[in-house]
Structure 1
Amino acid sequence: MSGTLSGVSCLVTGASGFVGHRIVQMLLEEEDLGELRVMDKTLSGQLLQTCDRFQSKIPLKVLEGDIRDPEFLLRSCQGVDLVIHTAAMIDTIGRVNKETLMSINLHGTELLLESCVQNNVRYFIYTSSMEVVGPNTNGDPIVNGHEGLVYKSTLGFCYGESKRQAEQAVLQANGRQLQNGGSLVTCSLRPTYIFGEGSQFLQLHLDQALQNRGVFHRISKKEALANPVYVGNVVWAHVLAARAMMGPGTAQKIAGNFYYICDDTPHMSYSDLNHALGRELGLEVEDRLAMPYPLLYFVASVMELVSFLLRPFFRFAPPLTRHLLILLNTTFTFSYKKAHKDMGYKPRYSWEEARRLTTTWMATILLQRKEEMKKK
């Protein structure tokens, strides 16, 4: 039997982010919380508008500060029962240096865990990523992977490594004794590639398609299958994980475990996902990669070498890296069976509904771009 979030004081970090903001929305709309605290380094206008709409429903506290500030974290966690930690620096092409990534994604998580222990925060959910697994540098595929799968994970990229170490810290903290003698309960959720309204990656691909006469660039081979997940289903999984943590029959199942989070979106390449979402808007996708994959790999290697040579003078983030190329062109799919078994997770949104909602949002972006073009 799952628990309830009624009367719970919850802190959401990264609350202005793509996933964090949607978690805040769902908690405010559907849960009878005792209090909600929203935290981010910079609070977006969109988040503040959401908070304004619900300020009469439950006590809301807005916290603006850095995840690397231990004093700020200690104050933020006082009196909290549940932390949902989505805050992270996301970097797919090496734009951010390793020290910054580790300080935010790993050290910030460690500081937050310590603040929970000091403040007797009982429950902690970490938003991880499938990139803590891979793909590895060999591009070895995974088909319908599960939590018990052993995969030779030779991560060649700082972002995935920072998330992997942070997840380890979260799971190892499960069972830590709190100041009041209780114990910390933690779990980690590993979403696959997340799409939906507000996705910065989808918006980037859309802008590139507009510059390419309404045609998405082919960035992944048709046969390189991923299982994208709709943002609404990722958020729903977080709520179910929180309920399960507080349920007498489910708390021990979920404690100290990680879960792959995906849904029933058809398995397809990243490029074909873009096309599936943009087809009704008249957008097309290129038939093949710009050049053969081995040649693309060589180009990415050269770009990385140039970036390395220029580093003493300035930071050049190559638009294509070997890691990104492998990520986009490796079959990497997972199953959500364990999440269903342990926390009752089933996708709340069907593929048809997720596609409709996302395409409608994409249409508004296209309209904005056309208005911007008229003003130039």
Structure 2
Amino acid sequence: MPGWSCLVTGAGGFLGQKIIQMLVQEKDLQEIRALDKVFRPETKEEFSKLQTKTKVTVLEGDILDAPCLRRACQGISVVIHTAAVIDVKGVIPRQTILDVNLKGTQKLLEACVQANVSSFILTSTIDVAGPNSYKQVILDGHEEDNLESTWSDPYPYSKKMAEKAVLAANGCTLRNGGTLHTCALRPMYIYGEKSSFLYNIVIGALKNKGVLDTTGKFSVVNPVYVGNAAWAHILAARGLRDPKKSPSIQGQFYYISDDTPHQSYDDLNYALSKEWGLRLDSSWSLPLPLFYWLAFLLETVSFLLRPVYNYQPPFNCHLVTLSNSTFAFSYKKAQHDLGYEPCVTWEEAKQKTSEWIGTLVEQHKETMNSKTR
């Protein structure tokens, strides 16, 4: 395969950064363009320190800016589209989420057609498949189940529609007469060092005498380590560019998990942080059905108050369902089509994440000590 170039959107994010760190090791990769709305200074510095022959170009621009996207795609072979607004609490305005996740994806597809980009990989999410009810039990789900989220909440809806747009674009004609090939990856909940979600969990626990907030004690899920989720994207990029593998991948979606044990979200948080003295909340909690109906009541109150007051419930029905369902998936199809095997074991992932949590604990201690001086 001749020299190629890759654009990664959402490159300053948790997953995007890891994809770029892995991409620079790819053979014949001449340039990586890292696109995001804003990059933190430390992220730019990390990219500049990457030991590689591949040129890494940092681009700041809006996913809704069509001219910016056309410039970013010019001369690019592969687009890995990770940029998205992730919000399951209903904090961010609905239109903002729809604009970025759906309209932004559509604009990027158009830019690819105009710039003759031949391969497009979307980072989708397990949320496009559900769960639609906490009573739904999926322990070894696979692509042939044809599961689809029925939630109207902006995050699952926008990601579902974006994925449909990407897969429907497979086979469309580029401006130069070539063909666009697409696929989508649906990672489980992604954990690992530098996860903003995990960061908030840990900081919240440190401020609460080491007690971890209960986020999903009734769930059974199989989260995926960020390094393995990133590796699946690298293999998808290879696959779409390989004439032998490409036909079986085009227009397909894949669940991406690894060998992280099936467990609840709460048990995962505890497993990753217990070395530093963090512990689960042992106090009584509402039974799940009552918890769900409380969420429904709070959403109703929010809806009724909307004309006069913007009440933001602490949780909603979608979040309660998402956090407390039995919803786990196999990566066998990705294994068969992409040659995907997790490159990081559960023990390694746990150790790396725990070490990072350790740095957060130390920073918190230093901050508290400086306040008492």
> Identity over the aligned pairs, expressed in percent?
50
Once residues 69 and 188 of structure 1 are traced to their aligned partners in structure 2, the CA distance between those partners, rounded to angstroms, is 23
Deviations 1:312-367 (A, max 9, x none): 34543322111111111100000000000001000000000000000000000111
2:246 counterpart of 1:248: no
Paired residue secondary structure (1:187): strand
| TM-score for the superposition, normalised by structure 2 | 0.95
User: In the TM superposition, what is the alpha-carbon distance from 1:59 to its structure 2 partner?
Assistant: 2.3
Paired residue secondary structure (2:285): coil
Once residues 47 and 211 of structure 1 are traced to their aligned partners in structure 2, the CA distance between those partners, rounded to angstroms, is 27
Aligned to 1:166: 162
Q: Which moved more, 1:301-310 or 1:349-358?
A: 301-310
- 1:219-258 matches, within 5 Å, as 219-222=215-218, 224-258=219-253
AA at the equivalent of 1:147: E
Check the 8 A contact 1:137/1:154 in 2, yes or no: no
Q: Which moved more, 1:357-366 or 1:90-99?
A: 90-99
2:42 counterpart of 1:46: yes
AA at the equivalent of 2:246: A
Paired residue secondary structure (2:102): helix
AA at the equivalent of 2:151: L
Once residues 327 and 146 of structure 1 are traced to their aligned partners in structure 2, the CA distance between those partners, rounded to angstroms, is 18
Please, which of 288, 291, 296 is the counterpart of residue 296 of structure 1?
291
Aligned to 1:186: 182
2:67 counterpart of 1:66: no
Once residues 206 and 47 of structure 2 are traced to their aligned partners in structure 1, the CA distance between those partners, rounded to angstroms, is 34
User: In the TM superposition, what is the alpha-carbon distance from 1:119 to its structure 2 partner?
Assistant: 0.6
AA at the equivalent of 1:355: K
| TM-score for the superposition, normalised by structure 1 | 0.94
Once residues 318 and 256 of structure 2 are traced to their aligned partners in structure 1, the CA distance between those partners, rounded to angstroms, is 22
Once residues 181 and 58 of structure 2 are traced to their aligned partners in structure 1, the CA distance between those partners, rounded to angstroms, is 25
Aligned to 2:366: 371
Once residues 74 and 289 of structure 1 are traced to their aligned partners in structure 2, the CA distance between those partners, rounded to angstroms, is 54
Aligned to 2:10: 14
User: In the TM superposition, what is the alpha-carbon distance from 1:75 to its structure 2 partner?
Assistant: 1.1
AA at the equivalent of 2:63: I
Once residues 243 and 126 of structure 2 are traced to their aligned partners in structure 1, the CA distance between those partners, rounded to angstroms, is 29
- 1:266-285 matches, within 5 Å, as 266-285=261-280
AA at the equivalent of 1:239: I
User: In the TM superposition, what is the alpha-carbon distance from 1:174 to its structure 2 partner?
Assistant: 0.3
Aligned to 1:75: 71
Paired residue secondary structure (1:189): strand
2:211 counterpart of 1:209: no
Once residues 134 and 202 of structure 1 are traced to their aligned partners in structure 2, the CA distance between those partners, rounded to angstroms, is 22
Check the 8 A contact 2:292/2:320 in 1, yes or no: yes
User: In the TM superposition, what is the alpha-carbon distance from 1:33 to its structure 2 partner?
Assistant: 1.2
User: In the TM superposition, what is the alpha-carbon distance from 1:31 to its structure 2 partner?
Assistant: 4.3
2:8 counterpart of 1:23: no
Check the 8 A contact 2:210/2:279 in 1, yes or no: yes
Question: Could you list the runs of 5+ residues in structure 2 that have no partner in the other structure?
Answer: none
User: In the TM superposition, what is the alpha-carbon distance from 1:212 to its structure 2 partner?
Assistant: 2.6
Deviations 1:247-277 (A, max 9, x none): 1221101110000000000000000000111
Once residues 43 and 36 of structure 2 are traced to their aligned partners in structure 1, the CA distance between those partners, rounded to angstroms, is 10
Check the 8 A contact 1:220/1:328 in 2, yes or no: yes
Going from structure 1 to structure 2, the CA distance change for 1:152 and 1:113 (only over 3 Å counts) comes to closer
Check the 8 A contact 2:127/2:149 in 1, yes or no: no
Deviations 1:30-78 (A, max 9, x none): 4441111010001122321122113872223221111001111111111
Q: Which moved more, 1:95-104 or 1:79-88?
A: 95-104
Going from structure 1 to structure 2, the CA distance change for 1:85 and 1:310 (only over 3 Å counts) comes to same
2:317 counterpart of 1:306: no
Q: Which moved more, 1:213-222 or 1:193-202?
A: 213-222
